[in-house]
């Protein structure tokens, strides 16, 4: 039973951390769906949101505000920062690059990444800032079934809950609101949407804003887990295989991809790692993504790619 207990513990831990990857991958999907831009800057946006939140929080608490007021104001401030960023990106980078090919747009978001990383660290500082929004202690379940029980991190549970709420919220937003419908129209066909009177630059601003807010949510969870620091930008690279497995255009796909990558890499690390040298978490997600792509070139949930001449 110990082996099974350990297996379940690794599996659950992996699934939970996979959900946290999904939080970052969601931002990618939103922007790709609506504008066809592969947004490499998502990791930098998480860093920016996290830094804005944690620094304003520290400042407010130091000035004697009660904690809950500080949290509300801090989140509000970070949201304003993300809105400004979204507007600037749409106005100065994505707007002028309309109708360029995907590679150019992708490279321009790498340029945006540099700017965001530099600006975020220059304005808010470049140390490691601890963030304490969620409990981080461990939690033991099924102690009756397995000796010692199964260790679950409470933060991961919070992360999973938040991701669930976020996906439900986004689904409602996309399916039930007028803006959401306009977003789907733009995603389907820019030109047609434009010609029926949907303001494209406004829609793109909304998309980058939503992606920014998703980044903020990701920052609260990841910031609590790792502390807000520069290395949080590498999350973008962790989220890529998640994205590819799920399909670039599917929101549920991002979650499913996260679960697969999270569970896969943790299990591989524990059961394969010792025999081939450890640290395989580093690339396992990518190899998994490559394998999935060979079977389904558009990812598990992506829209079927139809080729015409």
Partner 1 sequence: MLYREVGQFKTTYAEDMAIFPIRQDRIALAILLGIAFIGVPVLASFHIWPFGSEYLLWAILLPFLILALAAIGTNILVGYCGQISLGSGAFMAIGAYSAYKLATGVHVPLTSHGFAISIPPLPVLVSILLGGFMAAGVGILFGIPSLRIKGLYLAVATLAAQFFFDWVFLRVPWFTNYAPSGSVNAPELNFFGVVVRTPIERYLLCLIFVTVIAVLAKNLVRGNLGRQWMAIRDMDIAAELIGIRPLYAKLTAFAVSSFIIGVAGALWAFVYLGSWEPLAFSIDRSLELLFMVIIGGLGSIMGPFVGAAFILIVPIMLNVLPTQLGVPLSTETITHLQFIIFGSLICYLLIKEPHGFARLISIGKEKLRLWPFPY
| Number of Cβ within a 10 Å radius of residue 284 | 20
List, in order, residues 6 or more apart from 288 with CB less than 8 Å away: 241, 245, 260, 261, 264, 265
Strands (E), the chain: 138-141, 150-153
Tokens of 171: 């689904």
For partner 1, the closer of residues 2 and 122 by Cβ is 122
Task: Phi first, then psi: give them for residue 152, nearest 5 degrees.
Answer: -125, 135
Query: Is 282 an interacting residue with respect to partner 1 (CB under 8 A)?
Result: yes
For partner 1, the closer of residues 46 and 217 by Cβ is 46
Query: Is 108 an interacting residue with respect to partner 1 (CB under 8 A)?
Result: yes
Query: Is 96 an interacting residue with respect to partner 1 (CB under 8 A)?
Result: yes
Rounded to whole angstroms, the maximal C-alpha distance in the chain is 66
Q: How far is the CB of 93 from partner 1 (least distance, A)?
A: 5
Query: Is 191 an interacting residue with respect to partner 1 (CB under 8 A)?
Result: no
For partner 1, the closer of residues 159 and 262 by Cβ is 262
For partner 1, the binding residue among 29, 78, 112, 218 (CB under 8 A) is 112
Between CA 300 and CA 134 the distance in angstroms is 32
Between CA 88 and CA 69 the distance in angstroms is 29
For partner 1, the closer of residues 193 and 289 by Cβ is 289
Q: How far is the CB of 263 from partner 1 (least distance, A)?
A: 19
Between CA 273 and CA 253 the distance in angstroms is 27
Query: Is 22 an interacting residue with respect to partner 1 (CB under 8 A)?
Result: no
Q: Which stretch binds partner 1 (CB under 8 A): 74-82, 106-114, 130-138, 194-202?
A: 106-114
Q: Which stretch binds partner 1 (CB under 8 A): 2-10, 144-152, 207-215, 292-300?
A: 292-300
Query: Is 272 an interacting residue with respect to partner 1 (CB under 8 A)?
Result: no
Q: How far is the CB of 43 from partner 1 (least distance, A)?
A: 12
Between CA 37 and CA 111 the distance in angstroms is 13
For partner 1, the closer of residues 182 and 240 by Cβ is 240
Sign of CA dihedral 162, 165, 34, 285: positive
Between CA 248 and CA 243 the distance in angstroms is 6
For partner 1, the binding residue among 23, 218, 244, 254 (CB under 8 A) is 244
For partner 1, the closer of residues 117 and 156 by Cβ is 117
| Number of Cβ within a 10 Å radius of residue 227 | 17
Q: Which of 262, 280, 202 is nearest to 24 (CA)?
A: 262
Query: Is 164 an interacting residue with respect to partner 1 (CB under 8 A)?
Result: no
Query: Is 278 an interacting residue with respect to partner 1 (CB under 8 A)?
Result: yes
Query: Is 248 an interacting residue with respect to partner 1 (CB under 8 A)?
Result: yes
**C-alpha triplet 141, 142, 145: angle, nearest 5°:** 160
Query: Is 297 an interacting residue with respect to partner 1 (CB under 8 A)?
Result: yes
Task: Phi first, then psi: give them for residue 36, nearest 5 degrees.
Answer: 70, 15
- Which stretches of the chain bind partner 1, using CB under 8 A? 38, 92-93, 96-97, 100, 102-104, 106-108, 110-119, 121-122, 126, 237, 240-241, 243-244, 248, 277-280, 282-283, 286-287, 289-290, 293-294, 297-299, 305, 307, 309
């Amino acid at each position: 039973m110990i082996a099974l207990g350990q297996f379940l513990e690794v599996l659950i831990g992996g699934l939970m951390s996979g959900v946290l990857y999904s939080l970052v991958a969601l931002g990618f999907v939103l922007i790709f769906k609506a504008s066809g831009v592969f947004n490499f800057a998502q990791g930098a946006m998480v860093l920016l949101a996290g830094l804005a939140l944690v620094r304003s929080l520290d400042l407010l608490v130091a000035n004697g505000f009660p904690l809950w007021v500080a949290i509300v104001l801090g989140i509000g401030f970070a949201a304003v920062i993300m809105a400004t960023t979204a507007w600037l990106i749409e106005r100065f980078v994505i707007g002028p690059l309309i109708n360029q090919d995907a590679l150019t747009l992708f490279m321009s978001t790498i340029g945006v990444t540099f700017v965001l990383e530099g600006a975020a660290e220059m304005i808010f500082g470049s140390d490691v800032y601890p963030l304490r929004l969620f409990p981080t202690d461990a939690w033991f379940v099924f102690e009756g079934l397995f000796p010692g029980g199964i260790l679950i991190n409470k933060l991961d549970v919070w992360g999973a809950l938040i991701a669930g709420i976020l996906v439900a919220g986004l689904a409602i937003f996309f399916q039930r609101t007028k803006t959401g419908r306009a977003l789907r129209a733009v995603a389907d066909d820019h030109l047609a949407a434009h010609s029926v009177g949907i303001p494209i630059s406004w829609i793109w601003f909304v998309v980058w804003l939503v992606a920014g807010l998703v980044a903020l949510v990701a920052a609260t969870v990841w910031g609590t887990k790792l502390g807000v620091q520069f290395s949080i930008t590498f999350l973008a690279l962790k989220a890529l295989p998640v994205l590819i497995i799920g399909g670039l255009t599917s929101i549920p796909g991002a979650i499913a991809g996260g679960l697969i990558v999270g569970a896969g890499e943790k299990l591989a690390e524990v059961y394969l790692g010792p025999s081939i040298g450890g640290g395989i978490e580093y690339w396992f997600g990518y190899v998994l993504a490559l394998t999935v792509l060979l079977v389904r070139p558009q990812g598990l949930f992506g829209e079927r790619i139809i080729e015409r001449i």
